[in-house]
Chain A
Amino acid sequence: MKRRKFLKSVGAGVAATGLGGILAAHRAPVFAQASTVHILRWNDFVPAADKVLREVYVPEVQKALGIKLNVETVNANDIPARATAGIQSGSGPDIIMLLNNYPQLYAAGSVDVSDIAGEVGKAQGGIYDLPKSMCTVGGKWVAMPWATVPALLAYRKSWFDEIGVKEFPKTWAKYHEAGKKLKAAKRPIGQTLGHTFGDAPTFAYPIMWSYGGQEVDAKGKVVLDSKETVESVRFMTQFWKDAHDEGGLAWDDSNNNRSFLSGDICASLNGASIYVAALNGADKFKTEKGAPLHTDILHAPLPAGPKGQYAYHTAFTHMVMKYSKNAKAAKEFLRWAHTKANYEKWVVVQKGFAVGPTRDWEKHPMWDQDPVMLPFKTASRMGRHMGFAGAPGKKAAEAWNKYIIVDMYAQAASGKMKPEESVKWAAGELRKIYT
């Protein structure tokens, strides 16, 4: 080999290990290839979405960034314990998916993801206000919003038609009236007031707000024990007795899905998982007339109360953990997953059950495919945070985690306390938190 030829081939080798080489080889550099990112998420109510993570994201992120993605899924109600254990022991998943306002509780154990939130928000039409309020502490993003599961009422169109209600009730009073008739026909409304992460708060908090009740004022002073809150609890007590499946006091987030799909209940506040399951199992889930069940399901927002119409939607967010030795790779994975091309692969299989964290996803063609899902498209625009009108911080998260508002309604609905007593109890518990 001549000297010139030798130098040429060595030069090509050096180039191959540099940027040109990386681009030419379509492979990530050696340091990134060694990274493993462990992500802990819930068992998705749309199992196809977990399949995308495992069967699409895992190989693709390995190819694109050299990151070995390790996806672990558990029951959503068990995630807070894993987060606490991880932060205290200093080891655990690199990314933990958190629900509701949990990012506020675990903020001290998080890595700043403001850069990713800024980029994604700017490129995709802005992040919705509700997930933003859950994920920011003092202007810093402690978690990155991944998706929102809007809570809307799924209801049996034909059953409401049969009692003469052609349009879904717009007020709580009218919904009560319709529910009473349906329960008399052994077709009650099905809702949980149990200790569970999703349907319980999305039902309890908005009903309180729609009657004018709130936990605290803007300064964080407890104002729950108002005549408006008492009125909302009084309404719920009667509404529960007259129109609901009273077994709902012991339900978790999956009971209403099963009850609806088996034809036991006429309506339930839920994500779109009932409809998506009915759609995917069209041969299995039928109406009493033998038609596919999904053809008899429509969606509507929660009715309005005397002081307005409100909603609370469950935010799903990703926190990169401060203890993680792979925090840099974890952030790179999130940045990669949030690009339009990659996020689309996950969000389309959700069919609207979970919606994107930014406004641009409202423009996706998926919304043209099924008019029944349309109410979910813009649902994330509306929504209040727990602890309104105070900050959505640790105290609001603690109050939620102790199920104080949910139990305020549950105690009265079950007859364990009178509405006035239950509100007084809840206000007392809140005061211990907001001291």
Chain B
Amino acid sequence: MNTRRFLLAAMLLCAASAVPAQTIDPARSSVSATFKQMGVPVEGKFKKVGGQVGYDPANPTAAQAKVDVDVASFDLGDAQYNHEVQQKDWFDGARFPAASFVSSSVKAVGAGRLEVGGKLTIKGRSVSVNVPLSVRNDAGTTLFEGSVPIRRLAFAIGEGEWKDTALLADEVIVKFRLVVAAAK
């Protein structure tokens, strides 16, 4: 009786407790944003990415993630453009230096595939997004890769004259690759 009670309690505790979080390896992780400017695809990369991922392959739906992106590290490959995108009409990096994604639900949608629901916050505006991604193990690390289309205007990225979507499409594809140490 005692033993059964103990086991039950232990199982409940396990299910309830979060999977231990691992720190995202910034050197091997990347987040980029691709947008279209009068039909021309332009990709910018966030050079500084961090955060925590708790992921147990035995219990994928219990996974949790918080991804932080340093907005000032956005690199379009041109100093003048990099300066421009930090201005008030764009990221307003001085007021909103960080963008983040915080997961709230995880669904397993196939072998090595997850759909992670959560809140994406950029420039102080939060939008719920569903992010499809793939998970795989690679030499002692776990690798999460995926991409998600977002609407820049929902985050007030490109205000004033820049709202014109014929000049700059509303849709932006955010691509990411996050690497954490594999759970033991």
Question: Does A associate with B in a complex?
Answer: no
